[in-house]
Structure 1
Amino acid sequence: MSDGPIWVVAGALAGSDGKWLMHQRPLEKAHGGLWEFPGGKVEAPELPAESLVRELHEELGIVVDPAHCTPVGFAEEKRSPGARPIVILLYTIANWMGSPEALEGEEVGWFSMQEIAELRKPPLDEHLASRLFGQMSEKKD
């Protein structure tokens, strides 16, 4: 088993109403029941955006063009003995085909930036949300 990081991609889907899609993790998985940006592991030989397109289709049933995946940041775990650290690459997505449904998790929901700040999220998603929405606030100022 490799001790290198586990590369994960996540998509921040932006609705036309200013709300963002969040996905509730399956109860039986790590961080079960917490809310996250949808996505999953990068598989060889995929590029991260290709993995994100595949994961969003598997998890939400939507079709995304990799050209509509815009990288906006990342979050990473610290190394700890006996565990591979996770690195999540976050992309924003404003265009897709289909209506997102929870095909693999508990549910999906559309939330404002303020509502997302109140959701219970895994630590890396906390960091990603803070980073993403902090960048957006800075652009408005």
Structure 2
Amino acid sequence: MTRIKQIVGAALVDSLERPERLLAARRTAPPEYAGMWEFPGGKIEPGESAQQALLRELVEELGVTAALGAELEGPTPGGWPLNAGAGMRVWLGRVTDGTPEPLQDHDTLLWVDLAGQEILALEWIPADLPIVHALIALTTAPGDKG
């Protein structure tokens, strides 16, 4: 059995209790994804847990520290399929220190409302789009008194 490469990503929101806005990051590379939007994150380094890797990636890519909330569980044990050889686990997160800046891998950051069409108007990396839909469903679930 081939082991998939594990990637971690953050759905950085304005509140872990009642998220209304998401921080989207626009890629600069590779060429096939340049200009498309994604969740910030990256690879797990040897000796790191998934959460440790995600917190490190947020410092490297955005210059922020964050508190992680619940995992936005994907449809497979590896999380959300990115391609045949990789999956991404995604956690909700909230910035606790610093102001997000596009330091690495991104050229623009944008806070978008989770309700409405603004978030879906962005050109998301195809593998990230199902995660966007799951996040919208989670934050606009019936019974949410928002």
Letter in 1 for 2:107: E
User: Which residue in 2 is equivalent to 1:76?
Assistant: 81
Q: Distance in 2 between matches of 1:137 and 1:18?
A: 9
Q: Would the aligned equivalents of 2:65 and 2:95 in 1 still touch at CA under 8 Å?
A: no
The structure with more helix, counted as a fraction of residues: 1
Please state how far the C-alpha of 1:54 moved relative to its aligned partner: 0.3
Check if 1:10 corresponds to 2:15.
no
Q: Deviations over 1:55-77 (max 9, x none)?
A: 00000000124xx3421123114
- Aligned ranges for residues 51-130 of structure 1 at < 5 Å? 51-65=53-67, 68-74=68-74, 75-77=80-82, 79=84, 85-104=85-104, 105-113=106-114, 114-130=117-133
Supply the RMSD in Å over aligned alpha carbons.
2.2
Q: Would the aligned equivalents of 1:71 and 1:91 in 2 still touch at CA under 8 Å?
A: yes
Please state how far the C-alpha of 1:29 moved relative to its aligned partner: 4.7
Q: Would the aligned equivalents of 2:20 and 2:139 in 1 still touch at CA under 8 Å?
A: no
Letter in 1 for 2:108: E
Identity of matched residues, %: 27
Q: Would the aligned equivalents of 1:73 and 1:132 in 2 still touch at CA under 8 Å?
A: no
Q: What is the number of residues matched between the two proteins?
A: 133
TM-score of the superposition, structure 1-length normalised?
0.83
Q: Describe the SS at the equivalent of 1:123.
A: coil
- The structure-2 alpha-carbon separation of the partners of 1:102 and 1:134, relative to structure 1 and needing over 3 Å to count, comes to same
- The structure-2 alpha-carbon separation of the partners of 1:61 and 1:112, relative to structure 1 and needing over 3 Å to count, comes to same
Q: Distance in 2 between matches of 1:108 and 1:64?
A: 16
TM-score of the superposition, structure 2-length normalised?
0.81
